[in-house]
Structures are given as C-alpha cells and as structure tokens.
Amino acid sequence: MMKAAVYRRYGGPEVVEIADLPVPEPGAGEMLVRIVATTVSTADWRLRSLDVPRGFGLPVRLMFGWNRPRKPVLGTELAGIVVRSGSGVRAFREGDAVVAYVGAALGCHAEYRVVKVDAATIAKPRALTWDEAGAMSFGGASALWFLREKVRVQSGERLLVIGASGAVGSAAVQIGRALGAQVTGVASAANHDLLRRIGATDVRDYRNWAPGDDGAAFDVILDTSGRVTIDAAARGLAPGGRLGMVVGDLPLMLKVPLVRLGERRKVFAGTAPERREELQALAEMAEQGLFRPVVGSVTPLARIAEAHAIADSGHKVGSAVVRIAGDPE
C-alpha cells in the first residue's frame, strides 16, 4: 500500500485527506516511479474547487466527474526514482532519477505513480534540486510553449510578463531572458526583488500600473494571470506585437481567432501540451544555468492541505512544492 492525498468531493483545501491506496503496477512501456517531490498547481486548485474560468464548468465536470471527482488523486508533475519497469522499457532503469509531466492524467500526489516511458518523461537535470525538479514541468512547459511556439519571442524584443511571480510567470521571465528578450515583470512590489534576481530588467506593480499607462510599448505581452482583458493589454502592445493569453474563459478562447487589433498585432491563446520536447529544452536551460524553477513553499505530504490553501490564496509565489520523500541517497 502507499500513502496518497485524495479528495472525494469538490471544495476547499479541507476536502483533501491522506489515504492508503494500492501501489500501481507498471505495464508494457511503463515505469513505476517513487515520487520525491510534486506540486499543488493552479490546475489542482481549479479541479479540486471547481473554480474554473467562465464557460468551463460543464466541460470540466464532464471530463473529471459530475457529482464527485472521477480521479481522486490530483497532481500534474513529479520528480522521483524509477523503482521497476514493465516490458519494453530501455531508456530508463531501476534507480534512475526522472521528471515526468502527466498533466490532466493526474495522480502525482502519492508515494508512487506509473508513467509511460514514451510520454513527457526525462532524466532529472543534475543542476536542479529535487524540489526544483518536481516543480519544473507545469510552469516551465506552459511558459516555454507560449513563448517559443505561440508568440514566438525573438532576441532583442521587449517582453512584458503579467503575473510574473507565479509558477508560469516566473518561468516565463527566465525563459524570455534566455531567448534574448528584454523582460519586464508585473507583480506586487513585495516580489520585485525576486523578479530582478531571476532576470527581469524592469518591474511594475499591478496594483498601480496597467499596460499603456506610461507609454511603454512591448513587442510581446504574456498574461499568466487571467485578470487582463485583450483591450486593456493591447494598450501596451507595439505595432506588430503579439499578446499571449495563458488563462482565459471560454468566450475569450472562442473570440481570440476573430480578434483584429490593427497595426499587425495578434492575439494567441491555448493550452500547452504535455510533451518531452519542452521538458528536454527546460532541462538543457537548467544545466546551462538559464532556468531554475522558483520554489515558494515546501510542504510534506501529510500537510498537503496547506499547499492547497497557498494555491487558493491567489498570491502563490512560484510553485507550492509537496515533499513526498526525502532526498534519495
């Protein structure tokens, strides 16, 4: 048996409890991983509470359970050690340190998780601690996909990251810097020193500043907060600029392809896929010292409800890491 954090009904952090569940068995092409670190991400908070953007309530209930959760164990990402493998697994062996991004498949808030070897699974970057490795996938992959595949940030461009102190935002600041952009981060003043440490060349306080207020024009704006409208963001977008909306309600997502801002400006939205390609690129950046996930808190599995409360607060800095086990020897 293994310990796992489960939720049998939708609600606040108090609905999460620790339970004993059977240890899963790996099948062909799968590995059983003993999890060392994971996170409570924005996705976990939304699924647990059903606090989802407008228009997504029905699809989420249909996919994840109408009256109660169909998948009682949350958790989208992990870092851990391979315990054993099913047939056909050659890329990894027992004792290897790995990082996996399972996304909507969930199940990482447990001592063990079976992962597919041909999915978003890579060797753990040596440059990262276990806490950082456990937090690299959700925020890092989302930020990288948006910056590289959607808005296509180029070296020398001016990039504005709104919500820059969160998991996705703090990754976007670092990745934008690695791609050669001049990065301005928007967050509360309490987090400005953090933003400068991770690569922002300029900072703004969202409580008293909005795009366009000071005449600054950006080539790319990435909103990770979901609090900025397209029209409001466009006030700070330069001709030929691109706006990336990481979070948005269903009407916004449906409207994006039809939006015409003028002056060759474009709007992009979407959901980042769980792919090995992004994880491998993040690992390479980590080994080069260009990317290090921001860990805002570390909570043991037994107190995972505290990590959920941090995620619920709306003021989570970086990732809320959950420690499942101690550092392997």
Domain residue extents for the chain: 2-136+293-323, 138-269
List the Cα angle 38/40/43 in 5-degree steps: 120
Return the C-alpha torsion angle 266, 181, 162, 237, nearest 10: -40
* Closest to 234 in 3D by CA, of 206, 209, 207, 266: 266
Rg of the chain in Å (alpha carbons): 20
- pLDDT tens over the chain, length 329 residues: 999 999 999 999 999 999 999 999 999 999 999 999 999 999 999 999 997 767 677 777 877 878 899 999 999 999 999 999 999 999 999 999 999 999 999 999 999 999 999 999 999 999 999 999 999 999 999 999 999 999 999 999 999 999 999 999 999 999 999 999 999 999 999 999 999 999 999 999 999 998 988 888 999 999 999 888 888 888 999 999 999 999 866 566 666 666 667 677 888 888 889 999 999 999 999 999 999 999 999 999 999 999 999 999 888 999 999 999 999 97
Question: What is 138-269's CATH topology?
Answer: Quinone Oxidoreductase; Chain A, domain 1 (3.90.180)
CA distances from 118 to 84, 102, 134, 142, 268 (A): 16, 12, 19, 20, 29
Cα four-point dihedral sign 35, 41, 44, 45: positive
Res 258: pLDDT? 60
Strand duo 97-101 + 121-123: pairing: antiparallel
CA of 237: how far to CAs of 22, 203, 253, in Å? 52, 17, 19
Q: What is the CATH topology of the domain spanning 2-136+293-323?
A: Quinone Oxidoreductase; Chain A, domain 1 (3.90.180)
For strand 237-245 and strand 218-223, is the pairing parallel, antiparallel, or unpaired? parallel
Same fold, 2-136+293-323 and 138-269: yes
According to DSSP, residue 146 is labeled I
Q: Residue 213 has what pLDDT?
A: 86
| Alpha-helical regions (H) of the chain | 42-49, 57-64, 130-134, 137-144, 167-178, 192-197, 230-234, 250-255, 276-287, 304-312
- Classify residue 16 as left (phi > 0), alpha (psi -120 to 50) or beta: beta
